[in-house]
Structure formats: structure tokens, C-alpha cells
Structure 1
Amino acid sequence: MRFIKVYGRVLSLLRPEWRTAGLLALANLAIAGIAFIDPVIFGRVVEMLTASATLPEAELWGRAASLLGLWAALGLGGIAAGMAVALLADRMAHRARKREMARFFGHALALPAAFHGGTHSGKLMRIFLTGGDTLFGLWLGFFRDQLVTFVSAIILLPLTLFLNWRLALALIALVVLFVGLTAAVIAKTEARQKRAEKFHNKLAADAQDALSNAVVVQAFTRLGAERRAFADVQQQVIDHQFPVLGWWALVSILTRSASTVAMLSIVVIGTLLHIRGQAGVGDIVSFMGFAGMLIGRLEGMVFFVARLFSTVPTLDEYFAVLDAESTVPEASDARPLQAGPGEVRFEGVGFAYPRGPAILSGVDFTARPGSVVALVGHTGAGKSTAMSLLQRIWDPSEGRITIDGQDTRDVTLESLRGAIGVVFQDSLLFNRSIRDNLLVGKPDATQEEIERACRLAEAHDFILRQSDGYDTLVGERGATLSGGQKQRLAIARALLKNPPILVLDEATSALDAATEGKVTRALRALMQGRTTFVIAHRLSTVRDADEILVFEEGRVAERGSFDGLVAEGGRFAELVSNQLAPAPVQSNVVPFEARVAA
């Protein structure tokens, strides 16, 4: 069954804890052994008491002392083993959860933009948190309770054959029947639970989506519609989950009645065997103890399996993220980028998304150290894709990209991206202090370096006006700051990073004219002495570029200076004409003076 494979992988994550796991296994074996011997001793005590009238008093006291002494010693041993399990299992599960969540977090962060673009952040957070908690619960449950059950059922139950094989066969048959019914329910509900879990994930994703866009919901009076949509998904969760719960309720009823059925069966079969002289009173008492112990442990195992079964879809998603591979794997012999003056070359670069059409084809250009290269063209022409390839968010399908003569695929990702600074159109800020957001560019920056970068980015003055200055929290995605303020912080962050290569991705397109002037001055300070790529739709911002590349349908259709391209009267000149031409006055609009005269 699917859940057995998943459970095996869950336990395999404990390999770093093999010493502790080994000690826990020994402690559980001791607990199971003691639990097996307890009913045997009790049966012998009962046999001794039934024969007390025929035994000499001295012999009776001797037997009683030895049996009770052994019983007490085993009881103390069981207590010690139980304490070891309680202490070690909890601590091991906490350590393992911390380690695995850190591994998941680091792996998910390193996955490429293609993964994050296709995975809802709300769903990813749910998988991250519930996955870690589920692993913790399964590890703890296994070593605290379930390992004893497995040892008792697999190893100790067959040993009852040496006590009385007839009663042992009856007990084994009861256990097999119990396990068989549980397995049948699992097989019946496995697919249904997986479907139900999909709606649980949709519920979390929809809630995250609406809450993160609460302003839009309120502005467009979508409150009622979002509530109804949420209620619809909730109903779908219930419709798919309740049938599964019904089957497990049946298992619960069978489980609660199993102990009574097992005891009654042992008593009836044992009595018949006793009448035939094939079982003693002590045997019957011992097997009643075995039945109570095993059925009790199996009841716990059923609820454990039910929990595991319900979480298999979540674990599947958790492991699916861990199994996701980067689209830009780092070569085993990758070496750090030797940053030089910052020459960037695209040599016959082509690119297509997996199973998709070509996005770039035959792109060739060289960006000289310290030059400014502008990439212009209609949306979808390939500008942003070209810069994504430079940062190795994807790798070229054809050709190669070099920085100072080094193929970007031959260097480490960390050194490559460390040499490139990016200022995005939408400044991405953490929900942390201004200082913490700036230190992303250079974690060891001094306060003097921070303030210098902020002055160059024309951000220092507005930061001092904040309630806590550089320690002011900016809110989620910088919600407490204006667009221009966020953009200037992003520029200051890039200045602190001090990279030889810079990418400006529509860095001023969302700003008003007054704010754009401040940000443009900050950008000039940032671009000084760096090889800079400017992605722009607003063509007036690239007038001073050393070279302009006009992208069209994934190719560089034209290249040259601003004035030279305009003079050629080609595609770029047409774009400039469309953007800079004054809007025509509609003929049916009556001039204000005429309306006054009328």
C-alpha cells in the first residue's frame, strides 16, 4: 500500500539519529518482552494458588517468593525502559524535526523561479508547517507506542505457540482478523482521502490569496463573494472528508468491541480445551492477558494508522517539494566566478521553456565593462528572459553567456548571483526593519556604510523621518512605505552589495514624475562604473544608454545609440514616435472658450 512506502521514507529520515534510534529499539524490545512475560507469570501465580491445597507450606512460600520477586524485578525494568523511551524519543523527534524543516526551507528557497511561479505561497507554507509537525508526530508515535506493538505482533506473538499452540492459533487468528479489517478500510478510503486533501490545500491557498489581497477585496466590494467562495470550498472539504470519516468510525467501533470479543473467545476456547485436558487454568489466564495486551496495542496502532493514512497526501506533497530538482543544477566542478571588469557576452543564445515555443533565438551582443546597455521592445519580446538567463534562473537552450570570459554554467550560482545586482520594478522588501532589508545587500555592513549608501540613493532623509529611523519595520512587502521610498531602499541595497554588473528591471516605470526624478538621480549614482543593463518600456529613460538593443520576437532586431536608431527610421523610431507623440484632440470635444461664449 502507498502509505507503507511513505511511512518507510519517514523513518528513513532518522538515519542521522541511528544511535538514539538503536537505544530506543532496545528499550522497546525490553518493554515488549516484559509485557509478554507478565501474563505468563500471572498465569503461573494462578496455577500455584489453585494447587496451594496440595503443596507443602514451605514449597508454596518459596514458589510465591520467587514468582513475586521476578515480577517485581521485571516491573522495575519496565519502568526504567519506559523512562528511557519517554526521554529519548521526545528529544530525538524534536532534533529531527528541526533538522528536516531546515533542510526543506533551504531546498525550497534554492528552487528556481519556475517552481515558485507555479506553486502558491500559501500552499507551500502549509506543506512546510504541517509536514514538519506530521513528521514529528509520526516519529514520536512510532518509538513511544508502535514499535512495541510491531515487536509484540511479529516476534512475541509466535512465541505463544510454545506455551499452548491451540490457544496461540486462536489468538493469532483474532489478530489477523483485526488487522485484515483495518487493511480493508485503508484500501477502501485511500483514494478518497487523497481527493479530500486536495480540497484542504485549496482552502488554505484561497484563504492566503484573499487575505494577502484584502485591500483589493474591500475596494471592489468582494467581501461577500470571497466568503461564499470560501464556504463552497469548505463544503467540498466536508463532502469528500465525511465518507472517509464514516469508514474510520466503523473501524473505531470494531476496535472497541475487539477486546471483548477476544477475551470471550479465549475463555470459550480455553474452557473447551481445559475440559479435554489440553490447557491448564494458568494457560487460559496467560492467554487472556496476551489477548488484552495485544488488542489494546492494536487499538492504538489502528488510530496511529488512521492518522498516518490521513496525512499521506500532505507527506506526498512534502516529499514532492524535497524531490523537486533545480532547472539550473550546479556542476560538480563549478568554481567561483573570478569577477573582473564586468564584460558580458551573449553568444548565439537561444532559449525555450520545457515543451514550449522558442522565446529567444540567436541573441548576440557584448556589453563592455562600465557601459549601459538598454533592452527595449514590446512585452513578451524576450528582454526579461535574456536577463533571467544572465542570472541563471534558466540556462540557454543554445549558445552561451560569459562574464569576463567565464561561462556562467561553469561557475557557482552563489558567486554568479553575488556579482549581479538587481533593482526590480516592484521593490521586494521583507517584513523586517529598514536596516535588516538593507543588510541583505551586505550582511556585515557598518552603520557608516549603510548611511553612505542611503545618502547616495537619496533615502537617508526619509528614513530619519520614520518613527524608529533605520529600525522602523516596513510591513509586509514594504506596505508602510511609498513606491518611491521602496525603490530608493532597493537602490541603497544594491549599492551596499556593490556588484560589478547591474540589472535595472523597469526600475522607474511605476513612479510619478517628481519621485522618478529622485530615483533617477539615485540610479545614476548606482550605475557609476558598473556594467548596467536597463530593461525599459519608457523609452525616454534610455536616451543616455551606450547601446540600445531592440528585441522583437526573441531576436535583436536593431542596435545602436538613441539618436542613431531614431535616424534610421526603423522599429525603434516607430516605438519612440508612438510613445512621445502628443495625443490627438478628439473632434467632437468643444473647446472651453466656445462653451463660455455660448
Structure 2
Amino acid sequence: MVIRRIIRENGRDYVKTYIFAAFCLVLVAASTAFMAWIMEAVINEAFAKKNADLIWVICGSVLAAFVIRGAASYGQAVALAQVGNNLVARYQQRLIDHLMSLGVSYFGDTRSAQIAAQISQNVAGIRDVMNLTITSFARDLLTLVALIIVMITKDPVLSLIVLVVSPPVLLALRYISKRLRSATRESIDLNSRVLSAMQETVQGITIVKAFTMEEQISGRTAGLIKSAEERSNRIARLTERTSPLTETVAGIAISGVIAYAAFRSIYGDVLPGAFFSFITALLLAYDPARRLARLQINLERAVVNARMIYEILDEQPTQGDSANASELAVGGGEIEFRNVGFGYGLGEPVLENVSFTAEAGKTTAIVGPSGAGKSTLISLVPRFYDPSSGQVLIDGTDIATVTKKSLRHQIAYVSQQPWLFEGSIRDNLRYARPDATDTEIEDAARLANAHEFILAQPQGYGTMLGENGVNLSGGQRQRISIARALVRDAPILLLDEATSALDNESEAAVQKALESAMRNRTVLVIAHRLSTIARADRIVVMQAGKVVEIGSHADLSATTDGLYARLQAYSEKGSSVSADATPTNTDSNGGKA
């Protein structure tokens, strides 16, 4: 049960605060009940008997009760707010830590905008469950019980009239809460999709504008918004259905009490003090009774929110370290792919029986048509994914037997899509190695041909970046990404089309710098220009997930009927040379090369 789990995970940490809040709520309940109880003395002694000696005592007691109630209300409100805020912060931290432990495959299957929307909507559910539980039992229930005791002591018959009409209300509320559960879940899902659509639209606004997608996006999102509105309206109808029910029952009870008390006072000559005390207790009991009546409905909504947070927290990492995983120690940095096979989910295999060795301290280029499996192959080295068959070894050690953290510390990675984070340019470079000095960061930027344009920014290295570095050009973002990899200073360097966003001049400058940075490192590189690939010590040519050729640029170019030679010939015909282009002539099996 979600409520039990939340209390088990958090109750012990906040037990002192909750005890203090509960004590304050007990004072609120006691002072509220006292206000009802003292009304008999107010009416009988002050107005009926006109006993002046007791007036000051009564007034002083009332003032003291209000002061105590005010101070106690403040204390419990602040205490519960602090606990609630800390709970939200705690679960936000748990969520980010857990998301960091999940494999890349999870994020490939789940839209990032939807994850963000689900977290932002539902994380407060944990706080609401705890606070509703405490306030309902320590304040509302105790207040209601104390006021009922006052009512019974003042007039048992009138109390019986009130209590008789309560069961139908409770039965009706239970029925409503069951119907509310599914409606709340649907509403949360729809609102998450609306927020997700908005976030994706903002992130891709240039594409939206370029393809005049405004009307399409607006129309598609309008359907989601309308569905979310309808679900919210349904929840409102279900939730507020309790109001006419409780108000009607309360009206019947109070009017019946007034009629009974009035006839008894008129015909029985009974002092009205007890009745006024009773009616005060009854009216004061209405609010806590109404809140308790709606507790199941409000708690159901909070539990649905909390349950969706636990769905993320309960997601198991698919790439945990093995039980006896050791730390990886890299010597030369030789990378061997041994009979490697891989496929995404239950789809077609992307890699089949791939075997080759990237020699230590040398550069190995991977080329082939789009969809050949080049980027997938590189993603296996830092264990973004694990092969479905075969092994990946570094210096003879199967990387599946070492910790992912130690493995990734030995690797610097530059993806084909540079990604920059919130913060300054210097912050983004230092992510690669937190202990890097400013001098080391600037040296890496110089190697990546980024130092000059960084200094040209308003605050130089301290310039704050927009979302994903939107205030920089694509080539500038890529050069910062390359500089970040150089700051890492790792023995293995992975370049997945690292110069794809650069113009010819920038690429030539960065390539020259990378040649220096590649020395004494094992480099796996995917490049979209053969001019870059030609400098590699070894070239692996892939097609349809298989290795079809291996050799140097000179050897592969000399084989005129080979795929590499055809790729080179095809690229030389265009204005830009591209190893990813697919030649139109067919291979020996009759398929497109």
C-alpha cells in the first residue's frame, strides 16, 4: 500500500517534528472544544443569571483559548510546511539519482518531456499523503471527537439526532472516491502529455517555424488540452458532489436540533445555555467533519500522484554492475570487439557477429552507409547498451566484468549532437573533470579551436549558456563538446561524427588540433568526410550491421570493387565528401551499398 510505504520510508526521519505538530494540533482541538463548552457558562451565568463576578473569568478564558489556538495553529503549519518542503526536495533528489542509475535504453523508450512533466505534476503527492494523514487524524479527528464529547455531555438526545444522519454520508463518499480514482489517473496522464507537447514544441521551435507547423501543433495539442479539461471537469463534478450531500445532511441535523431545543426551552422552561453550548459545538464540528468526509477523496488523489512517482523509482536499472565487478585499469587501451551482436528491443539485429580490434594508441575509423550500425557499435564501448551476444574487451578485460563508473572514467566521448547544460561555458567544460584547473580548461579549448570565440563572448568563459547553448552556433557548440572531451584527458577517445557541425575551415582547424590530442590515445572515430577518415591508422567498413572490409586508406582504395572504394568514388562526385552517403551501385549480393 502506497500510504504505508511512504510512512515507512519517511516517518522515522520526521518523528520529532510530527510529534511537535501533533501536540500543536491537539492544542487546536482542545481550544476549539473549550470554546463550545464554555458557551453554557457565557449564556447562563452572564446573560440569564447576570453573574458579574464570572464575566472577567469567562472573558479571560476565551482570550487564552484564542491565543493558544493561534500559536498552536502557527506552530503546526510551519512544522508541516517544512516537513512537506523537505519531502518534496528529498524525492526530487531521489528521482534524479535514480534516473541517473537507469540505462540509456530507458530514456530511449520514454519521452524525456513526459518524464519531466510526470515528475513536476506528481512529486507533491508524497507530501500531501503525509500532511493529510497527520492533519486529518491529529487535528480534524481529535477536534471532532472533543466536540462530540462536549455535545454528549451537554445533551445526549440532541447528539443522537446528529449521529444518526452520518452513516449515509460516509457510504456516499466511499462510492464517490472509488469513481474518482480512475478519473484522477487519466487526468494526470493527459496533463503530462499536454506539458510534454508544450516542452517539445519550445525545444523544437526553429523546426516548427521553418516548416510552418504552428497550426498542426496547435490543432494536435488542442485535442489533448480538451481531453484534459473534460477529465478535470469530471473530477470537479465528482469531488464537489459531496458538497450538496453534506450541506443537506448538516441542514437537516441543525434544523432538527434547533426545533427540539426551542420547544424544550419554550414548554419545559429549560435554561438555553446548554443548547447554545451544544449548537456551538455542532457548528464548530461541521468543518472538521466535512474535511474528514472528504479525506478519502483528497487522499485518493494524493495517492495516485505518489503511486506514479513510485513507478519511476521502482524502475529497475537494466545494466547493473556484476556482483564481482572490479575497477578497470587501462594500460594501452586496446579495444576488441569479439563476435558482437546487438538489437534494440525485439527489433531486427543492428549488429551481427562484429569482430575487429582497435589497436592501442592508434586511430580506428568506422565508415559505412547510414544505418550500417556505426554509432551503435561505438555506444557499446561505454556500455550505453550491452551486446546481446559476444564481448567487448579493453586490454583483454571484458567490460561487462568491471564497474561502469571506472570504465567511463577511462573514456572521453563526443557525440554527433553536442549537448550543453545549464551554467557557464567553464562549468560545461569542467563537467568532464571537476578537478581540472582553469589553465587545463583553456588549453583544451585551444586544442579544440574554441578559445578565441569563447573569449569573444560577453563574459568569456563565465558566459552563461542558453538552453543547450542556443546562444552559440552549431559549430561553436561542437567545439566546446570536443574541448570537454579533451579536458577529460582519458586514454580512450570516442568521436561519433564529432566534426559534423563544422564548416570546412573550422573542421580543418579542429582536425589539426585533434591529431595532437589523439597521440598516445586509442581513438574510435566515425566521420562523415573521407578526408578525415584517410588519416586513420585503420579503417573498418560496415554495411547492414556487419564488418565487410578492414584496412588502411591506401589498401582499401586500391580495391576498386570494394565498398570503401565505391563510397570514396561516390563522395568525390559531390560538393562535399561523405562517408555516410549510400552509393547507387549494388554490392555483390545485389543490395544497395
TM-score range relative to shorter protein: 0.7 to 0.9
Alpha-carbon offset, residue 328 of structure 1? 1.0
Q: Deviations over 1:65-103 (max 9, x none)?
A: 999888777666545543431332222222222222222
Contact 2:362 2:519 in 1 (8 A): no
Q: Residues 582, 241 of structure 1: CA spacing in aligned structure 2 closer, same or farther, 3 A cutoff?
A: closer
1:251-290 alignment runs, 5 A limit = 251-267=242-258, 287-290=278-281
* Residue aligning to 1:452: 443
Contact 2:540–2:550 (8 Å) recurs in 1? yes
1:372 pairs with 2:369 = no
Conserved? CA contact 1:457–1:525, under 8 Å: no
Q: Distance in 2 between matches of 1:96 and 1:410?
A: 37
User: Counterpart of 1:386?
Assistant: 377
Q: Structure 2: how far apart are the matches of 1:290 and 1:8?
A: 33
**Greater Cα offset, 64-73 or 328-337:** 64-73
Match of 2:121 in 1: 130
How far off its partner does 1:492 sit?
1.2
1:302-321 to structure 2, matched below 5 A, reads: 308-310=299-301, 313-321=304-312
Q: Which residue matches 2:333?
A: 342
> What amino acid is aligned across from residue 337 of structure 2 in structure 1?
F
Of the candidates 94, 97, 102, which is equivalent to residue 106 of structure 1? 97
Q: Secondary structure at the match of 2:541?
A: strand
Pair 1:525 & 2:516 matched: yes
Find the counterpart in structure 2 of residue 436 from structure 1: 427
* Counterpart residue identity of residue 387, structure 1: I
Question: Is the aligned partner of 1:193 residue 2:190?
Answer: no
1:466 Cα deviation from its structure 2 partner: 2.4
Task: Note the residue ranges of structure 1 that are not aligned, 5 or more in a row.
Answer: 584-598
Is 2:84 the partner of 1:93? yes
Distance 1:170 1:307 in 2: 28
Task: Return the match for 1:21 from 18, 23, 27.
Answer: 18
Counterpart of 1:14 in 2: which secondary structure?
Answer: helix
Does the 8 Å CA contact 2:154/2:277 hold for their aligned counterparts?
Answer: no
> Using the alignment, how far apart are the partners of 2:408 and 2:86 within structure 1?
33
> Which amino acid counterpart does residue 549 of structure 1 have in structure 2?
V
Aligned to 1:589: none
403 and 292 in structure 1: CA distance in 2 versus 1, 3 angstrom threshold: farther
Distance (Å, rounded) in 2 between the aligned partners of 1:399 and 1:458: 39
2:425 is aligned with 1:423: no
Once residues 148 and 95 of structure 2 are traced to their aligned partners in structure 1, the CA distance between those partners, rounded to angstroms, is 40
Q: Quick check: 457-466 or 324-333, which moved more?
A: 324-333
Q: Which residue in 1 is equivalent to 2:587?
A: none
Task: State whether residues 161 and 253 of structure 2, in contact with CA within 8 Å, keep that contact through their aligned partners in structure 1.
Answer: no
Which runs of 5 or more structure 2 residues have no equivalent in the other structure?
576-593
Contact 1:434/1:474 (<8 A) preserved: yes
The equivalent of 1:543 in structure 2 is: 534
Q: CA deviation at 1:184?
A: 2.2
Partner of 1:466: 457
SS of the residue 1:516 aligns to:
helix
1:213 matched to 2:238: no
Amino acid paired to 1:235? K
Check 1:190–1:92 CA distance in 2 against 1; reply closer, same or farther (3 A cut). Answer: closer
Match of 2:498 among 500, 507, 521: 507
Question: Any idea what the Cα deviations from partners look like across 1:449-480, whole Å, max 9, x if unmatched?
Answer: 12211222222122222232222234222222
Q: Distance in 2 between matches of 1:385 and 1:460?
A: 32
Distance 2:558 2:362 in 1: 22
Matches within 5 A, 1:124-163: 124-136=115-127, 139-140=130-131, 142-144=133-135, 147-152=138-143
User: 1:264 and 1:14, CA in 2 relative to 1: closer, same or farther beyond 3 A?
Assistant: farther
The amino acid across from 1:249 in the alignment is E
CA contact (8 A) 2:436 2:487 kept: yes
- Distance (Å, rounded) in 2 between the aligned partners of 1:332 and 1:171: 64
| Aligned counterpart, 2:584 | none
Once the two structures are superposed, residues 129-177 of structure 1 have per-residue CA deviations (whole angstroms, 9 ceiling, x without a partner) of 3334454455455545664224456898699878876655544443333
CA distance in 1, matches of 2:325, 2:267: 80
Q: CA deviation at 1:373?
A: 1.9
1:119 aligned residue? 110
Provide the residue aligned with 2:585 in structure 1. Answer: none
User: Is the alpha carbon distance of 1:196 and 1:89 closer, same or farther for their aligned partners in structure 2, counting shifts above 3 Å?
Assistant: closer
In the superposition, the TM-score normalised over structure 2's length comes to: 0.83
Q: TM-score, normalised by structure 1?
A: 0.82
Equivalent position of 1:203 in the other structure: 194
Deviation at 1:486, TM superposition (A): 1.9
Distance of 1:309 and 1:6 partners within structure 2:
10
74-83 or 222-231, which moves further after superposition?
Answer: 74-83
* AA in 1 matched with 2:119: F
Match of 2:221 in 1: 230
Asked if 1:295 is matched to 2:291, the reply is no
Quick check: 1:411 aligned with 2:407? no
Cα displacement (A) at 1:530:
0.9
CA distance in 2, matches of 1:565, 1:154: 89
Distance 1:501 1:276, change over 3 A: farther
1:327 aligns with 2:318: yes
Cα 1:267–1:522 shift into 2, 3 Å: same
**Aligned in 2, Cα 1:103/1:260: closer, same or farther, shift over 3 Å?**
same
Q: Among all aligned residue pairs of Structure 1 and Structure 2, give the percentage whose two residues are the same amino acid.
A: 30
Q: CA deviation at 1:503?
A: 0.6
Distance change (3 Å), C-alpha of 1:198 and 1:582: closer
Deviation at 1:428, TM superposition (A): 1.1
Distance in 2 between residues matched to 1:269 and 1:184, nearest whole Å: 33
Which 10-residue stretch deviates more, 459-468 or 526-535?
A: 459-468
Aligned CA RMSD, in angstroms, stands at 3.8
CA distance in 2 between partners of 1:459 and 1:351 (Å):
37
Q: Which moved more, 1:491-500 or 1:16-25?
A: 16-25
1:258-306 Cα offsets, whole Å, 9 max, x none, are 44333234445678999999x9977755554443333211333456665
Cα deviation 1:298-330 (Å, max 9, x = unaligned): 333456665555555544433322222222123
Whole-Å separation in 2 of the counterparts to 1:155 and 1:72: 20
For residues 347 and 482 of structure 1, the distance between their equivalents in structure 2, rounded to whole angstroms, comes to: 40
